[in-house]
């Protein structure tokens, strides 16, 4: 008999798109099936199995706040008085499986003074706990969805490390005045699942590791020192949707923050700027969710969005206590400067909420761009012009800090892309660090923003996950979190439902969710083409690409992946781009991939050296799959970038730079024609 830990189910309808009755019925049925599975009994009436949250596809979170946009530009967070960083050195304990973890470590009186320290943000494998595992397609644990602790082969790392658990503890102070406000705990990314406690009280639970998780912790705090405890599981049922071709790393790997907010505040805002048919003007609209958490109604507040010499302003006569309302603003912008990869014109915006006396309660900095993305027949257009997406796929990877990538390295990546004439980035295969999107807005790079959804271990287009009602809720959650966080970035022109995943009702639910949330961008799916505005077929040789693009006549064509940049590669780029440039229905293609995912490992086998440095030391080498004794692994297949882990360009980087040039010349009789494909 296997006894597990039980936690309750959340409301099945939290993430549903309004009006989808068929989907609601499917989810209700799924909930009944899960409930029945949880209450399985033997003939004597004794419960034989209790399912933990982290092996239950219906449990995606408890007490999490709704997803919302990145309220403050990442580059301006230092100027935001509401944000307090909790990053730094935390106490840490690592256990090889759930049974070995310190189950009651979250108690306020639990002594952690003898524990090690770990750096947050960061992956625990990069700091000496457990092993990094690199696999492309195979799950690194026994494939038995939704379970992740079934018995794998004896020689696998997971055999004796069935589901490692990291226990984190840190302390922070809060003042009496701050307790009178609303205090939000923000996690930028935690992989794969986590429980959160404050001062010994359980706050909540979260999966969906590549998107933020937020909790209202106001009621759990007291003046003075407070204790935060986080329990992180390496694997969860969500890991079946996280089967990306990358190092499998875990932990609190993105920043942790406290947001200390006024009781009346902006919970979310959306800015759209849609140009007219002739691009002579643009309708700029703002939608702000205003929240009042006090026990008294707020009267006479003013909401303002200001950009340049223009502003949109709205008086809010009444915001009832404990209420949230949507406030809409609008302005017509004459002769707008359009945003494109070639000319990334941005309008800087201040978003402010003021009380009845004109005092600023909240201020955020953001920007918007005016641009139009559409499909006309077989052609994709940006601002009415045909575009060619000269692309690359990119993972968040640093050779010393793993999945956490510092701001300087993010900007180095984007600058190197622009220098190589790359104008298109696919965030393979999850939402990236928020600062990356701000950089793409500023530098001018089109983005396919991708949901964290890949179940490749069951096959592309599989029904086991993709058409299973038990998994609909998790798919929808990952689609919603993608759009809600990144919706204000003009660089994003395509929403991807994920990569190499399932097909069926789960993909349809993702598609319906994305389309309901945002109609200004194109939805994309490689695994279920019914739910994609662009047809994808990847790794085709040039002649096959030409044939397939001609055969597909109902939409544009793209290769989301091609030109596998491993070893002595990129030799036939000319042949590819002769085909792509000759056919207006081919949108473009994205090379696999950007950076070698090597890890800087000492030759003598001593501990890794986490730091922000990209440089390889003389006594280190670039490690790949298997170099840590990790099994299963896919060896050096993780080293297939245009640049090295230290961001040094490989020779084929310059091949890409040459053939990705947007400028071409053509001689016609006695004239030379200049061609701009940007």
Query: Which of the residues are catalytic?
Result: 500, 561
Please report, for residues 457, 461, 521, the alpha-carbon distance to residue 625 in angstroms, rounded to integers and kept in the order given.
Answer: 17, 26, 37
* Residue 166 to residue 70: CA distance in whole angstroms: 28
* Residue 284 to residue 306: CA distance in whole angstroms: 11
* Residue 477 to residue 58: CA distance in whole angstroms: 11
Per-residue tokens: 391: 């692309």
* Residue 175 to residue 258: CA distance in whole angstroms: 13
* Residue 678 to residue 673: CA distance in whole angstroms: 15
Going by C-alpha positions, the residue among 186, 183, 205, 189 that lies closest to residue 121 is 189
* Residue 40 to residue 476: CA distance in whole angstroms: 28
* Residue 92 to residue 113: CA distance in whole angstroms: 10
For residue 14, with 0-12 CB atoms within 10 Å meaning exposed, 13-18 middle and 19 or more buried, which class applies? middle
Q: 350 with 372: CB under 8 angstroms? A: no
Per-residue tokens: 94: 């690592």
The string of DSSP letters for 349-412 reads EEEEEE-TTS-EEEEEEEEE-B--EEEETTEEEETTEE--EEEEE----BTTTBT---HHHHHH
Residues composing the chain: 678
Per-residue tokens: 345: 């014109």
- Classify strands 424-426 and 446-450 as parallel, antiparallel or unpaired: parallel
User: Residue 532's CB: how many other CB atoms inside 10 A?
Assistant: 21
The greatest distance separating any two alpha carbons of the chain, rounded to the nearest whole angstrom, comes to 94
Q: 489 with 73: CB under 8 angstroms? A: no
């Amino acid at each position: 008999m296997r006894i597990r830990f039980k936690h309750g189910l959340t409301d099945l309808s939290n993430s549903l798109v309004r009006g989808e009755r068929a989907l609601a019925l499917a989810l209700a049925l799924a909930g009944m099936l899960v409930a029945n599975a949880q209450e399985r009994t033997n003939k004597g009436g004794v419960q034989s199995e209790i399912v933990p949250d982290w092996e239950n596809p219906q449990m995606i979170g408890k007490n999490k706040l709704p997803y919302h946009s990145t309220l403050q530009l990442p580059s301006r967070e230092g100027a935001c008085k509401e944000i307090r960083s909790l990053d730094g050195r935390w106490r840490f304990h690592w256990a090889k499986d759930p049974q070995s973890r310190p189950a009651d470590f979250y108690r306020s009186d639990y002594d952690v003074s003898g524990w090690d320290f770990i750096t947050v943000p960061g992956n625990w494998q990069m700091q000496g706990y457990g092993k990094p595992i690199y696999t492309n397609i195979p799950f690194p644990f026994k494939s038995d969805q939704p379970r992740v602790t079934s018995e794998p082969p004896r020689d696998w790392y997971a055999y004796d490390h069935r589901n490692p658990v990291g226990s984190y503890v840190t302390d922070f102070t809060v003042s009496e005045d701050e307790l009178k406000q609303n205090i939000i705990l923000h996690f930028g990314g935690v992989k794969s699942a986590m429980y959160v406690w404050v001062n010994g009280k359980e706050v909540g639970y979260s999966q969906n590791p590549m998107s933020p998780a937020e909790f209202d912790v106001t009621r759990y705090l007291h003046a003075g020192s407070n204790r935060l405890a986080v329990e992180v599981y390496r694997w969860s049922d969500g890991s079946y949707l996280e089967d990306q071709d990358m190092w499998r790393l875990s932990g609190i790997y993105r920043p942790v923050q406290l947001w200390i907010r006024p009781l009346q505040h902006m919970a979310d805002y959306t800015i759209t700027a849609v140009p007219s048919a002739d691009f002579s003007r643009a309708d700029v609209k703002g939608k702000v969710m205003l929240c009042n958490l006090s026990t008294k109604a707020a009267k006479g507040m003013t909401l303002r969005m200001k950009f340049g010499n223009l502003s949109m302003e709205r008086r809010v006569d009444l915001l009832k206590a404990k209420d949230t309302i949507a406030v809409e603003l609008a302005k017509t912008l004459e002769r707008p400067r359009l945003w494109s990869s070639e000319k990334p014109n941005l309008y800087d915006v201040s978003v402010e909420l003021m009380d009845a006396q004109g005092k600023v309660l909240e201020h955020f900095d953001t920007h918007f761009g005016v641009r139009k993305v559409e499909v006309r027949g077989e052609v994709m257009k940006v601002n009415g012009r045909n575009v060619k997406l000269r692309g690359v796929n990119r993972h968040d990877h640093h050779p010393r800090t793993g999945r956490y990538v510092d701001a300087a390295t993010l900007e180095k990546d984007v600058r190197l892309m622009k220098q190589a004439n790359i104008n298109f980035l696919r965030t393979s295969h999850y939402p990236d660090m928020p600062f990356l999107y701000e950089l793409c807005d500023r530098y001018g790079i089109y983005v396919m923003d991708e949901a964290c959804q890949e179940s490749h271990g069951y096959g592309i287009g599989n029904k086991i996950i993709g058409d299973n009602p038990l998994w609909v809720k998790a798919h929808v959650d990952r689609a919603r979190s993608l759009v809600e966080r990144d919706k204000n970035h003009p660089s994003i022109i395509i929403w991807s439902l994920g990569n190499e995943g399932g097909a069926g009702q789960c993909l349809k639910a993702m598609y319906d969710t994305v389309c309901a949330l945002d109609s200004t961008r194109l939805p994309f799916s490689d695994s279920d083409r019914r739910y994609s505005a662009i047809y994808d077929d990847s790794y085709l040789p040039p002649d096959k690409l030409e044939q397939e693009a001609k055969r597909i006549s109902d939409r544009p064509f793209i290769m989301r992946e091609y030109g596998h940049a491993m070893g002595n590669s990129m030799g036939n780029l000319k042949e590819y781009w002769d085909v792509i440039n000759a056919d207006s229905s081919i949108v473009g293609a994205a090379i696999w991939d950007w950076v070698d995912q090597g890890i800087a490992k000492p030759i003598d086998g001593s501990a890794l050296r986490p730091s922000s440095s990209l440089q390889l030391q003389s006594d280190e080498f670039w490690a790949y799959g298997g170099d840590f004794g990790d099994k299963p692994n896919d060896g050096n297949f993780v080293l297939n970038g245009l640049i090295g882990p230290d961001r040094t360009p490989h020779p084929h980087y310059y091949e890409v730079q040459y053939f990705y040039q947007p400028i071409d010349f053509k001689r016609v009789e006695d004239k030379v024609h200049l061609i701009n494909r940007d």
